[in-house]
Amino acid sequence: MKFKVDENLPIELARLLANAGHDALTVFAQHLQGKDDPTVARACVREGRILVTLDLDFADMRAYPPEDFPGFIVVRVGTQDKPHLLRVFQQAIALIGSEPLEQHLWIVEETRVRIRGEEG
């Protein structure tokens, strides 16, 4: 699968995805840092990449209906230090391939992953 890691997350998340066999780019590598949400979302659509972000705006299914995009993984944790984010995300990576992700919204939390798509 193809992913784009947003600028608000450690670039090491892209390495975790790549080590799991996925194609992962960062917003920084593509010089998209500082761009607004719609610009980043359009780049994801154009490239067929699932966006991984801390930005809760992408969890708004009215503004970003999952069926209109490759997919979103919104990380929502109480502590945003790098080691914690990497630990939590490593657990979510294990679900890729066994749970629907394309054209879905994943909310990744410390103890669970909520998956939303067009069916709810």
All domains of the chain in start order, with CATH: 2-116 (3.40.50)
Write b or e for each residue in 31-54: b if 16 or more Cβ atoms lie within 10 A of its Cβ, otherwise e.
ebeeeebeebbebbeeeebbbbbb
Q: What is the reported pLDDT for 120?
A: 52
Query: Token pair for residue 12?
Result: 């090491």
Give this prediction's pTM. 0.94
**In the prediction, which pLDDT does 119 show?**
56
Residue 117: the pLDDT is: 82
Q: Each residue's pLDDT tens digit in the chain (120 positions)? A: 999 999 999 999 999 999 999 999 999 998 999 999 999 999 999 999 999 999 999 999 999 999 999 999 999 998 889 999 999 999 899 899 888 999 999 999 999 999 998 655
The answer to whether 27 and 37 have CB atoms below 8 angstroms apart is no
CB 70 within 8 A of CB 2: yes
How many Å apart are CA 16 and CA 4, to the nearest integer? Answer: 12
Cα–Cα distance measured from residue 103 to residue 9, given in angstroms and rounded to the nearest whole number? 21
Secondary element (H or E) of residue 74: strand 72-75
pLDDT at 118: 61
Task: List, in sequence order, the alpha helices (H) in the chain.
Answer: 12-19, 37-47, 82-93
What per-residue confidence (pLDDT) applies to 17? Answer: 96
Environment class of 88 (CB within 10 Å of its CB; exposed 0-12, middle 13-18, buried 19+): buried
pLDDT of residue 38: 95
